[in-house]
């Protein structure tokens, strides 16, 4: 039986200013098993980056429960949080500047986080990580000598330097061309095949359609999940498949613990409701939602 890597229950995050309060997460529930590759999608302001930052230990929840790798992020001291960020999670950002130091070589960048931990044979491990991301020949290069895609691959190696239990990636293909994006996704897929748990936030439609599990966040809650159809599971590298437009996943609306679901906006719009009331019926094992009779 798989172990749970991320367990979020009723997660709430409130940002306060002098004038107002913003509810970024509104009782979010999510379980991610160890060894899963999961993508988070959602519109800007939906709460996905807030959730990722909480998992990464960069932000504190306001209420609810969040346990990652067996560690309760609500009860951690600041010292424990530093150790958690060093040893439990690795972060890959869309902005390479948050991962890379321009005055160091590629190899030195990868070795740097190892000096904060107890990694032995740092150079040997750094070279292994470079081999994994296909950049062994660039080990003595500085960042201005690399393309954007190469810099992102170095960032992945840096995030893995301390062997984190969980790899977090925030729009990792957002600033590269489609060919490079496919290569980066192949790196994530291979890492996952080796047992690495990965959580990716992405707007990349083609990438998200290749992921076995895609979780959609809307208005601070999980609204739906998409599961890769079995017939596509072993065909991720086939160039003949139009991943952007082909129907590769089954989509399921998520019911929360109170029995509530978020109905997609396009379905609500098609009902042409006059107010917020709908008619709910159970017919032959199916729940029917319809416009009230006038």
- pLDDT tens figures, 48-58: 889 999 999 99
Predicted confidence band of residue 2 (pLDDT cuts 50, 70, 90): low
SS3 of 88-136 = CEEEECCCHHHCCCCCCEHHHHHHHHHHHCCCCCHHHHHHHHHHHCCCH
* Contact yes or no for 188/199 (Cβ under 8 A): no
157 occurs within a structural domain = no
DSSP conformational letter for 19: S
Q: What is the pLDDT of residues 121-180, one digit of tens each?
A: 889 999 999 999 999 999 999 988 998 889 989 999 999 999 999 999 998 888 788 888
Coil vs helix vs strand at 68:
strand
H or E element in which residue 153 lies: helix 148-159
* Contact yes or no for 226/194 (Cβ under 8 A): no
In whole angstroms, give the CA distance from residue 183 to residue 186.
5
Average pLDDT over residues 56-80: 92
Q: Answer with the residue of higher pLDDT: 96 or 33.
A: 33
Q: Is the pLDDT of residue 45 over 60?
A: yes
Other beta carbons less than 10 A from residue 153's beta carbon:
27
Coil vs helix vs strand at 65:
strand
Q: Is the pLDDT of residue 187 over 80?
A: yes
Q: What is the pLDDT of residue 73?
A: 92
Q: Is the pLDDT of residue 1 over 60?
A: no
Q: What is the pLDDT of residue 98?
A: 73
Count of domains for the chain: 1
289 occurs within a structural domain = yes
* Contact yes or no for 4/32 (Cβ under 8 A): yes
In whole angstroms, give the CA distance from residue 192 to residue 271.
42
225 occurs within a structural domain = no
Question: How many alpha carbons lie under 13 Å from residue 62 in its C-beta half-sphere?
Answer: 14
121 occurs within a structural domain = no
Question: Can you say whether the dihedral through the CA atoms of 280, 281, 285, 286 is positive or negative?
Answer: negative
292 occurs within a structural domain = yes
Highest mean pLDDT among 81-85, 116-120, 201-205, 229-233: 81-85
293 occurs within a structural domain = yes
5 occurs within a structural domain = no
Q: What is the pTM of this model?
A: 0.89
71 occurs within a structural domain = no
Torsion of CA 60, 14, 38, 212, to 10 degrees: 160
Predicted confidence band of residue 81 (pLDDT cuts 50, 70, 90): very high
Q: Answer with the residue of higher pLDDT: 55 or 255.
A: 55
**Residue 282 belongs to domain spanning:** 265-294
């Amino acid at each position: 039986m798989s172990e749970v890597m991320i367990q979020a229950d009723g997660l709430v995050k409130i940002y306060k200013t002098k004038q107002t309060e913003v509810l970024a997460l509104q009782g979010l529930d999510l379980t991610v098993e160890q060894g899963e590759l999961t993508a988070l999608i959602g519109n800007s302001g939906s709460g996905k980056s807030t959730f990722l930052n909480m998992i990464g230990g960069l932000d504190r929840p306001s209420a609810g429960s969040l346990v990652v790798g067996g560690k309760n992020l609500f009860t951690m001291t600041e010292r424990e949080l530093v150790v958690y960020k060093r040893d439990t999670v690795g972060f890959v950002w869309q902005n390479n500047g948050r991962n890379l130091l321009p005055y160091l070589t590629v190899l030195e960048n990868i070795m740097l986080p190892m000096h904060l931990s107890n990694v032995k044979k740092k150079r040997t491990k750094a070279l292994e990580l470079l081999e994994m991301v296909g950049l062994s020949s660039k080990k003595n290069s500085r960042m201005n000598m690399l393309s954007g895609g190469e810099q992102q691959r170095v960032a992945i190696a840096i995030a893995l330097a301390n062997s984190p239990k969980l790899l977090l990636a925030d729009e990792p293909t957002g600033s590269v061309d489609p060919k490079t994006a496919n290569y980066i996704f192949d790196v994530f897929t291979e890492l996952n095949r080796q047992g690495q748990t990965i959580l990716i936030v992405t707007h990349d439609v083609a990438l998200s359609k290749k992921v076995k599990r895609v979780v959609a966040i809307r208005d601070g809650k999980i609204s739906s999940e998409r599961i890769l159809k079995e017939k596509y599971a072993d065909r991720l590298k086939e160039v003949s498949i139009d991943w952007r437009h082909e129907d590769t996943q089954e989509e399921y609306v998520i019911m929360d613990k109170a029995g509530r679901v978020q109905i997609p906006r396009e379905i609500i719009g098609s009902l042409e409701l006059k107010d917020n009331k709908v008619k709910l019926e159970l017919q032959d094992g199916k729940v029917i939602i319809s416009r009230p009779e006038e």
